[in-house]
Amino acid sequence: MAKIVHRPEINFLRKFYIKEVILGLFVTLKHVIRNLFFPEKLPTVFYPEEKKEIPLATRGRHRLMKREDGTPRCTACMLCATNCPAFCIHIKAAEVDDPYKEKYPEKFDIDLLRCVFCGLCVEACPLDAIRMDMPLITFAEYKREDFVLTKEILLDHDNEDYPHAKGYNPPKPLEITHGIHHFEFLKKIKNSTKQI
Ligand code: SF4
Ligand code: SF4
């Protein structure tokens, strides 16, 4: 059986929404008084004079991690560039004499104007050589070419900078970044083969 819902009677005052208008004005007045006399309670931030703390997981500007001797951990494997959906990473690989390192990036550019800050380059890197943990999220330049991060800019930091991000990006064992891990592993296999 259908339930009959009775519509309430609308009186003369309600037809003109006088009560609702007064209530709305009261809310506006309440906000005006609060904003004038208690600015510290404002839910807004006086940017750029005031800056909010950035959450740990925020993806900021990229940086290239360094080995102890200051050279980039990156071995120019191209995995980050291949996985980048915006095609904004440009790497030029070069040979290196060190037997522990296969290659190094002679050139490593990231075009910030194309980057969508997806973090896929960080995920793809097998050496933890690229991170996006710098608390830099606002970029302003006058020329398009100034938005290109060169290798020198990406390496211009200390590995120990941004300790707040350690929990987010745990450091990888150093030997892996030097290729010694694989070298020792191969030596072990060789020795075990000899014993057989
Ligand atoms: S954050 Fe995403 S778009 Fe930007 S360089 Fe890395 S993979 Fe490319
Ligand atoms: S940053 Fe990592 S993924 Fe990109 S080229 Fe270097 S080693 Fe490979």
CA distance 129 to 95: 18
In one-letter notation, the amino acid at residue 139 is F
Per-residue pLDDT band at 174 (split at 50, 70, 90): very low
Arithmetic mean of pLDDT over the chain: 82
CA 61 to chain centre: 6
Query: Closest Cα to atom 7, ligand 2: which residue?
Result: 74
Q: What pLDDT, in 10s, does the model give residues 9-57?
A: 888 777 888 888 999 999 999 999 998 998 888 888 888 888 888 887 7
Residues with CB under 6 Å of ligand 1 are 84-86, 88-89, 110, 115-121
Q: What is the pTM of this model?
A: 0.69
Ligand nearest to the CA of 89: 1
Atom of ligand 1 nearest to the CA of 120: 7
CA of 126 relative to ligand 2 center, distance in Å = 7
Give the span between the Cα atoms of 69 and 65, in whole angstroms. 11
